[in-house]
Structure 1
């Protein structure tokens, strides 16, 4: 994983190469963001961590036999947290969650549904040969 690069006080990015990097590298990245933003409450952190973890996991699972570069950026705004991933993996056929959790015996299909549960919005598009996911999590006010 490349070093954390803050283009501005509120924006952070990292490149994750799978392999050898993994979901743990994405977790390390987001923990560094939180070190710079102690004002983000725990519930909002958990929501963003879930979104990031599920997206990176899906990228890895959808490309089991090929190297993939995933560029991750997080913007910490006053009222929202924005996550953008852009990866070199194969095109994705499922664009959004179905809205319902799959059967408990299902081996996949939970990630996008979980993201839909915690994010205000999630968008997918194929852009210049890359999968681009953008998710927005609303921030909770500290007084709540």
Structure 2
């Protein structure tokens, strides 16, 4: 990297850490996720952006020691202090009704389900289409018209 002043932003965890093979995470399409669980582009895009701006993305990690990922970006020549944004309190939006939430990813089901509950919905969760059909048939009211036979 060239000499100069940089802004450094680091994110660290205390997880399982990465071995040398996994620290290749800045390579495009490299992923430790299973098929259909992600593209492996996040860190490579951040690395590419940092490099285009004259900075870098650095991974420090070892098995059993967690991971720290730092992005270094060159500081601009004319830096002006920016006041923090004023936070406005949003009115709570509430809805109502019943939702049958279907997703095969547990994290998506959990986060989406909680969001819907927070909005005032009654949520029934299914991990597959087959489970959703069974649940729909069990809880459907006679006044509902069911396109599922």
TM-score, normalization: structure 2?
Answer: 0.33
Larger fraction in strand = 1
TM-score (norm 1): 0.34
- Structure scoring higher RCO (CA < 8 A, sep ≥ 6) equals 1
